[in-house]
Amino acid sequence: MPARTNRRAYKEVRLQQLRSICETARLGSLVAAAKALGVSQPAVWEQVHSLEREFATPLIEPHGRGCRLTQAGTVLVELALPVVANADTLKRAFQERMAQIEVVLTVAAPQRILVEDLSDAITAFMGAHPQVRLRLLERITGRVAAAVDSGEADLGVDSEQQGSNVSPRLQWEPSYELDVLLLTPRAHPLVRRPAIRPRDLRGFPLVNAPEDIAARPTMVETLRKLGLFSAPRPPIEAVSTAVIRHFVTRGFGIGLVLGRLSTSRRSPLHERSMSRYFGRARIGFLWRRGIVPTQHAQLFVEAIRQQLNV
Closest-CA residue to 79 (of 22, 130, 40, 39): 22
Domain ranges in the chain are 2-94, 102-177+282-308, 178-281
Which pLDDT score, from 0 to 100, does residue 225 have?
Answer: 87
Nearest to 66 by CA among 13, 23, 15, 14: 23
pTM for this entry: 0.64
Sign of the four-CA dihedral 245, 251, 256, 262: positive
Q: How far apart are the first and last CA of the chain?
A: 58
- Pick the closest to residue 206 from 270, 279, 256, 242 (CA basis): 256
Q: Does residue 283 contact residue 207 with C-beta atoms inside 8 Å?
A: no
- Select the CATH number that applies to the domain covering 178-281 from these four: 3.40.190.10, 3.30.200.20, 3.40.190.80, 3.20.20.100: 3.40.190.10
Superfamily of domain 102-177+282-308: Periplasmic binding protein-like II (3.40.190.10)
Q: What pLDDT band is residue 295 in, cutting at 50, 70 and 90?
A: confident
CATH among 1.10.10.10, 3.60.40.10, 3.40.640.10, 2.70.98.10 for 2-94: 1.10.10.10
Residues of the chain with pLDDT > 90: what percent? 57
Bond before 82 cis per omega within 30 degrees: no
Residues 245-283 pLDDT 10s: 999 999 999 999 999 887 667 889 999 999 999 989 899
Topology agreement, domain 102-177+282-308 and domain 178-281:
yes
CA pair distance 59, 67, nearest whole angstrom: 10
Tell me: the pLDDT tens digits for 131-164?
889 999 999 877 899 999 888 999 999 987 665 5
Q: Which of 155, 45, 160, 42 is nearest to 106 (CA)?
A: 155
